[in-house]
Amino acid sequence: MQIQDIGLKDYKETWDYQDELFKGVIDLKIKNRRNTSNSPTPNYFLLVEHPHVYTLGKSGDLSNLLISEKKLAEIDATYYKINRGGDITYHGPGQIVGYPIIDLENFFTDIHKYLRFLEEMVIRTLNEYDLKAERSDGETGVWLDVGTPFARKICALGVRASRWVTMHGFALNVNTNLGYFDHMIPCGIKGKTVTSLNVELGKKEVAMDEVKEKLLKHFAVLFEAELIDKTVQKS
């Protein structure tokens, strides 16, 4: 599996790149079946940070975005309606966003297992920081203090799959400016708050590269995948 850490990147540019990779894997699968070929399909895992942006899933409710287009411009944020599952999500600097573009037929053909594995990757990573992260019944993502009045979300998930090929993924708040979540109803769930790793640890900042390394380590174990870093080094 190819790992690409593409740094801080515009959401639309990254979405277009994801879509290019996604369609390329699907096209290869179709070609293989047409020609009764057995060419291996590639798998990718993109890591990125985005400038401030709100994205709404295909079944989401726009009323969960609480600000106007004018206010979006004032806070230097953008908005996109996109083709993943889930409702509204915020992405911004200090947040690790992961986009696995993988052919699940190389691993297992179970989209629910796939989502649970992504959650488990984040749970195991947060456990390394002595945080008890958990799933919340009926609510995709990773949470802290589940079942209490203090339940708060630290990682959101939303994916798309076609012909068992995935795109979109997860967003883990590490050093995120949580004030941007005040302009939305996170994932359309009222009465729940969000948090970030640095807030939970009482630190000004947590090393992003360290968190990425832990995420990839747990991903490799869960998916039994060999990870190859294809990041283009910046001069």
Residues annotated as catalytic are 187
The values of phi and psi at residue 136, to 5°, are -120, 125
- Going by the DSSP 8-state scheme, the letter that residue 42 receives in this structure is P
The H or E element containing residue 17 is helix 11-34
**Rg of the Cα atoms in the chain:** 18
Neighbours of 218 (CB within 10 A): 18
State how far the Cα of 15 lies from the Cα of 9, in Å rounded to an integer.
10
* CA-closest candidate to residue 78, choices 63, 67, 94: 67
| DSSP E strand stretches across 57-194 | 78-81, 88-91, 95-101, 133-136, 139-144, 152-162, 165-173, 193-194
- Decide: 151 and 192 in contact? Cβ < 8 Å: yes
Which residue has 């696995």 as its token pair? 100
Secondary structure tally for the chain: helices H, strands E? 5, 12
